[in-house]
């Protein structure tokens, strides 16, 4: 079945540095969703991208959806300690199932 791969698995940065996580799907996706899970918390929906080549920004976060709709990235500019957590991408498999990547765990040295 469809697989969603995410890299890197872990990323440690100094506060103020940038951070990027990449997501790749084995099949073309109708949309890609991104979630953030804080330590000890649950995943929280961040955004959904639908169009080929789409770029969306949320303050310091930039989300991109690839032209072929098989890959996506999340870039955080000038990380802050509040950005700590695990970032997941997710894509639909069929109409009623959302498949999640393994996640990228971000830790920040203040």
Partner 1 sequence: KAGVTQTPRYLIKTRGQQVTLSCSPISGHRSVSWYQQTPGQGLQFLFEYFSETQRNKGNFPGRFSGRQFSNSRSEMNVSTLELGDSALYLCASSSGQGARVTFNGYTFGSGTRLTVV
Helix ranges, 1-110 (H): none
| Contact call for residue 100 and partner 1 (CB under 8 A) | yes
SS3 83: helix
Lay out the site mask for partner 1 across 30-49 (x = CB under 8 A, - = otherwise).
xx-x-x-----xxxxxxxx-
Residue 40's CB is within 10 A of a number of other CB atoms, namely 6
Least distance in angstroms from the C-beta of 16 to partner 1 = 29
Which of 17, 92 has the CB closer to partner 1? 92
In sequence order, what are the beta bridge partners of 45? Answer: 35
Size of the site for partner 1 (CB under 8 A): 26
């Amino acid at each position: 079945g469809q697989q969603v791969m995410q890299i890197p698995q872990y990323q440690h940065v100094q506060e103020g540095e940038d951070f990027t996580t990449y997501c790749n799907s084995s099949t073309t996706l109708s949309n890609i969703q991104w979630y953030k899970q804080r330590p000890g918390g649950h995943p929280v929906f961040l955004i959904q991208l639908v169009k080929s080549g789409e770029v969306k920004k949320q303050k310091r976060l930039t989300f991109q959806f690839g032209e072929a709709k098989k890959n996506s990235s999340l870039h955080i500019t000038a990380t802050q300690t509040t950005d700590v957590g695990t970032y997941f991408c997710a894509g639909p498999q069929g109409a009623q199932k959302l498949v999640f990547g393994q996640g990228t765990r971000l830790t920040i040295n203040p």
